[in-house]
Chain A
């Protein structure tokens, strides 16, 4: 159980915080990053939805290969890949175990593997697209395709507030720790300590709710005087905001090439 101890030592909240902010703000200059959000949305519509209805294994493998290449190109953070694989493995794994219990056998479970493949193609497609968009780009793109202005504002606001919120939450959490008392016994598998921490995580939201309430009030008042309640969905404002979006040659090229690959795959199989 010392593993847990060293792990918690390594994974200080401070580091998690930095990793979190890195994931949220760290955007690399990749090829995909330079594409117009509309291209990416359209591309996602094809690669994030259609594979669900494809049952041909070679096509799925071909798509997966293509997306792995793109995922590497997009320089997706390893943390995300890790979470993705873990999720897929555990879900598939538990189906498998219970399936066996109900009298299935391992070879018959192959279609399940296919489902996992399918789901990973879809997840990779969304990761590739949405990791390649900076918050500004995503909110502009959403605005362009008709999502209400409040949503795209909220994305920007979330990026604005995240560090402040994390900081404040961390402070409150620490205050609980500095004045509290950790259970003397660890309990089975550190369960007492775990329970203690989770309880603090929950309790810390009470002070946070009150202070975020104060913040929201000033924020909304300021918005009011900044004209945004009037401007969120005003066509003129939208047009000004989005005037920098243009479809370039590389957008057309990227989209048509990927589609050709897709079609070729289906054709070949």
Chain B
């Protein structure tokens, strides 16, 4: 049990982390929704999100509950309350964001180590933006009929989304994730935990083998999986996007949707597996959150 010290919170403490992360990130989401966006040509200069909030919390507290809380907070405050709830489309965001924050939180083993904190913050942002980018590209490719008839569309989508990805990672990532997280984590560490009746995470904490290996391992699988899926498709269609591919021929365009869903489903399975595992370990039933 010693090796898992950081995860042994009581059920109520998990609920506190969850509520804390949900309220704070939810509120920040409402605010970022209201900040106007600026466009420099096709490049958007906007306050995408205050990722530093869930990132800091995931590094200081239990990463899983901070991650899920933040995602739910975004859905409730930023979507439902502002009447913009996108229904099923939110599921993809929810999973992508939870996964990214969770991994960022787990990757920081010592919150007092600035390098780890910085790395963790960037990993979280890059991962999240990458998943979002992939999904966005796929959306257009699937959504537009006869994509090949439109000269330059397939490329332009990739270029636009790619630029947006770079922009988000460099602009939002540094300004709204990296710097604030570096500012906050050392200030909050050791100060916020007693307010929730917890001890701060130990520096010399040793994570169990399963914690280190499985998560990046699974992550790599997901990322590589979706990447390979993407490139597979690209090479086959050579940017021309031919619908005469045998699969599509036989099943119609519908087949693309389930295929697009593969990375999402994989991610879902991963998260639910992780939650189940934690749930079993703590035997507290809180895993029902997901």
Q: Within residues 25 to 79 of chain B, which ones have a CB less than 8 A from any CB in chain A? A: 26-28, 30-31, 33-35, 37, 39, 41-42, 44, 47, 50, 52-53, 56-57, 72-73, 76-77
Q: Within residues 104 to 135 of chain A, which ones have a CB less than 8 A from any CB in chain B? A: 104-105, 108-109, 111-112, 114-115, 118-119, 122-123, 125-127, 129-131, 135
Query: A157 within 8 Å of B by Cβ?
Result: yes
Query: B242 within 8 Å of A by Cβ?
Result: no
Number of A-B contacts (CB under 8 A): 209
Which residues from B are CB-within-8-Å of A174? none
- From A99, A131, A166, contact of B153 by CB (8 A): A99
Query: B23 within 8 Å of A by Cβ?
Result: yes
Q: Binary interface profile of A, 215-232, with partner B (CB < 8 Å = 1, else 0)?
A: 011011101100001001
Question: Could you tell me if A102 and B151 are in contact, using CB atoms closer than 8 angstroms?
Answer: yes
Q: Binary interface profile of B, 160-189, with partner A (CB < 8 Å = 1, else 0)?
A: 100000000000000010001001100110
Question: Could you tell me if A214 and B195 are in contact, using CB atoms closer than 8 angstroms?
Answer: yes
**Interface of B: prevailing SS:** helix
Interface size bracket, B side? 35 or more
Question: Could you tell me if A101 and B156 are in contact, using CB atoms closer than 8 angstroms?
Answer: yes
A50 to chain B, nearest CB (A): 11
Q: Spot the interface stretch: B82-90, B96-104, B210-218, B222-230.
A: B82-90
Question: Could you tell me if B180 and A202 are in contact, using CB atoms closer than 8 angstroms?
Answer: yes
Query: B119 within 8 Å of A by Cβ?
Result: no
Question: Could you tell me if A104 and B153 are in contact, using CB atoms closer than 8 angstroms?
Answer: yes
**B33, B41, B72, B87 interface centre (most CB from chain A within 10 Å):** B87
Question: Could you tell me if B195 and A158 are in contact, using CB atoms closer than 8 angstroms?
Answer: no
Query: A6 within 8 Å of B by Cβ?
Result: no
Q: Within residues 33 to 84 of chain A, which ones have a CB less than 8 A from any CB in chain B? A: 44, 48-49, 52-53, 55, 76-77, 80, 83-84
Cβ contacts A to B, 25 pairs, < 8 Å: A16-B34, A53-B257, A83-B33, A84-B84, A95-B156, A100-B152, A101-B156, A108-B150, A114-B144, A114-B145, A115-B144, A127-B84, A158-B76, A162-B77, A162-B81, A169-B31, A205-B180, A209-B53, A209-B56, A209-B57, A209-B188, A210-B192, A217-B195, A219-B19, A232-B288
A: residues with CB less than 8 A from B are: 16, 20, 23-24, 44, 48-49, 52-53, 55, 76-77, 80, 83-84, 90, 94-95, 97-105, 108-109, 111-112, 114-115, 118-119, 122-123, 125-127, 129-131, 135, 138, 148-151, 154-155, 157-159, 161-162, 165-166, 169, 198, 201-202, 205-206, 208-210, 212-214, 216-217, 219-221, 223-224, 229, 232-233
